């Protein structure tokens, strides 16, 4: 059996807030450490029937970037859901939500900046 690794390194400041997020996944074609401003990691505990999450972001992550990150994450989740369940209709519902979320998030950010 072949084992594969995805390594994530987090550098923290004195208050244990993420300053840098770096990752590498050699079997996935990412041979060198890559920088990231945010990370959403979800794991399913089948025994407990419970989702486990790690959500981190650096101080450099701007609100507009977070809005885009969530939009793209929702869209990716919809694609994953469609592949896993073959329920394209419900996946399209998630994509509609993602579009509406992004529109509202962008409008809200524009209002805050005015």
Q: What is the pLDDT of residues 1-18, one digit of tens each?
A: 999 999 999 999 999 999
Residue 23's SS3 state is strand
Question: Is the pLDDT assigned to residue 105 strictly greater than 90?
Answer: yes
Q: Quick one: pLDDT at residue 21? A: 98
Report the candidate in 20, 57, 63 with the shortest Cα–Cα distance to residue 38: 57
| Mean pLDDT, all residues of the chain | 96
pTM for the predicted model, two decimal places: 0.90
Report the candidate in 71, 60, 61 with the shortest Cα–Cα distance to residue 94: 71
**3: its two tokens:** 């084992």
The dihedral sign for the CA sequence 23, 26, 28, 32: positive
């Amino acid at each position: 059996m072949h084992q594969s690794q995805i390594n994530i390194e987090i550098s923290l400041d004195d208050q244990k807030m993420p300053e840098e997020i770096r990752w590498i996944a050699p079997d996935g074609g990412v041979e060198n450490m890559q920088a990231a401003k945010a990370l959403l990691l979800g794991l399913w505990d089948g025994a407990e029937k419970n989702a486990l999450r790690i959500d981190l972001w650096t101080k450099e992550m701007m609100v507009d970037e977070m809005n885009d990150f969530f939009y793209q994450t929702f869209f990716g989740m919809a694609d994953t859901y469609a592949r896993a369940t073959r329920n394209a209709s419900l996946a399209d519902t998630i994509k509609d939500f993602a579009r509406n979320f992004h529109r509202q998030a962008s409008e809200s950010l524009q209002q805050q900046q005015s």
